[in-house]
Amino acid sequence: MLHRRKGAIPYLLLLPGMAWLVLFFVVPMWYLGKMSLSSGLFPVFSFDWAWGNFSDAVSSYQTQFIRSGEYAAIATAIALVVSYPLAYWIAFRGGRWKSLFLLLVISPFFVTYLIRTLAWETILSDNGLVVHTLQHLHILGPNGRLLATSAAVIAGIVYNFLPFMVLPLYVSLEQIDSRLIEAAEDLYASRPRAFMRVTLPLSLPGVFAGVLLTFIPAAGDFINAQLLGTPRQYMIGNVIQSEFLAVRDYPTAAALSFVLMAAILFLVLLFARILGTERLTVAA
């Protein structure tokens, strides 16, 4: 039942958090916006409604934009497939150890990104067990490798964002009354159908949240491509990184950022529309 009375309550609830966002995000974004419409060479830039920055950005880096979208989408899909059963298991079989398992899921973050990526580099090394096994099974060619490929980059993204998929899924699944599922199984006389008809739809808010929390940051990721990929895997995040820090072409970096942000938001809205936003963001 949605509270329709206007009242001050929603605004009061929003106030502290939104004030924070406005102050520390919107204001800097305003400056960034002005920079995106400027031109010049470091350190002198002049604001001159340089809309050309945006069209240049899109045309010069089309490949990287598309590639980022692809990698992020594939990684999100894989993460979803890997995470859903795990979240399900924790929610329904975890018992009183649920919070422990959740902690275990995020524990890789305690070891900094660099160290755990180095560990992956050791595991996936050309001379390691994994690669040799895959070569044996003819999944990889005789000179095949896992590192410095798109597979490695996507795998890195998946691993990095796994907790962001597991936790929202868990949160949504755990809420489902197991008796509901039992009843559905009785009704449909088959577990897969009960799952499809009852569990899955009820867990959609969690799926939506997990997909968002994975896809959105993954699209702007740069570090996985940098460490695990070759120039052919570089994503738009790498471009922005180098334009900003190395070339110091701030207008281009700013324009690229806005294009990226707009593209992601567009895709998110599309996705929400397909799933049906009302169900996902507003209480029944």
Partner 1 sequence: MRWIRRNLLTGYAILALVYLFLPISVVVAFSFNNPKGRFNYTWQGFTLKNWLNPFGYPGLQDALKVSIEIAILSSLFATILGTLIALALVRYRFRGSGTTNMLIFVPMTTPEVVMGASLLTLFVNWRVPQGFGTILIAHILFNISFVVVTVRARLVGFDRHLEEAAMDLGANEWQTFMKVTLPIIFPGILAGGLLAFALSIDDFVITYFNAGATVTFPLFVWGAARVATPPQINVIGTSIFVIAVAIMLTQILVSNFRNKRVSTA
Partner 2 sequence: MSDSFTREQLLRRAVAGSALLTVPGFLAACGGSSSKATSTAASSQTMPSSLTWSNWPLYIDIDEKTKTHPSLVKFEQHYGVHVKYLEDINDNDSFFGKIEGPLSQGQSIGRDLVVMTDSSGLPQRMIQLGWLEKLDKSAIPNIKNLVPSQRNPSWDPNRDYSLPWQSGMTGIGYDPKLTGGPVTSIHQLFTDPKLKGKVTMLTEMSDSVGVTMLANGDDPSKVTDATFKKAISTMQSAVSSGQIRQFTGNDYASLLANGDIYACLAWSGDMVQLQADHPGLKWVIPTDGGMTWTDNMLIPKGGHVYGASVLMNWYYRPEIAAMVEDYVNYICPVLGADKVLEKSDPDVANNPLIFPTPEMYAAVHQFDPKALNNEDYKKQFQTLIGG
Across 124-160, b (16+ Cβ under 10 Å) vs e yields: beeeeeebeebbeeeebeeeebbbbbbbbbbbbbbbb
The distance of closest approach from Cβ of residue 200 to partner 1 in the complex, given in angstroms and rounded to an integer, is: 13
Q: Which residue has the tokens 């120039």?
A: 231
What are the structure tokens assigned to 24, written together?
């520390």
The distance of closest approach from Cβ of residue 96 to partner 1 in the complex, given in angstroms and rounded to an integer, is: 6
> Based on the number of CB atoms within 10 Å of its own CB, is 194 exposed (0-12), middle (13-18) or buried (19 or more)?
buried
Q: Decide whether 50 or 79 has the Cβ nearer to partner 1.
A: 79
β-pair partners for 45: 40
Among partner 2, partner 1, none, the one that 43 touches (CB under a kind-dependent 5 to 8 A) is partner 2
Binding site for partner 2 (CB under 8 A): 31, 34-35, 38, 40-47, 118, 121-122, 125-128, 143, 145, 147-148, 225, 227, 229-234, 238-239, 241-250
The distance of closest approach from Cβ of residue 135 to partner 1 in the complex, given in angstroms and rounded to an integer, is: 19
Cα–Cα dist 282/205, whole Å: 10
Cα–Cα dist 47/42, whole Å: 13
Among partner 1, partner 2, none, the one that 259 touches (CB under a kind-dependent 5 to 8 A) is none
Q: Decide whether 16 or 141 has the Cβ nearer to partner 2.
A: 141
Q: Decide whether 113 or 188 has the Cβ nearer to partner 2.
A: 113
Closest Cα partner for 229 from 156, 130, 158, 162? 156
Among partner 2, partner 1, none, the one that 32 touches (CB under a kind-dependent 5 to 8 A) is partner 1
Among partner 2, partner 1, none, the one that 232 touches (CB under a kind-dependent 5 to 8 A) is partner 2
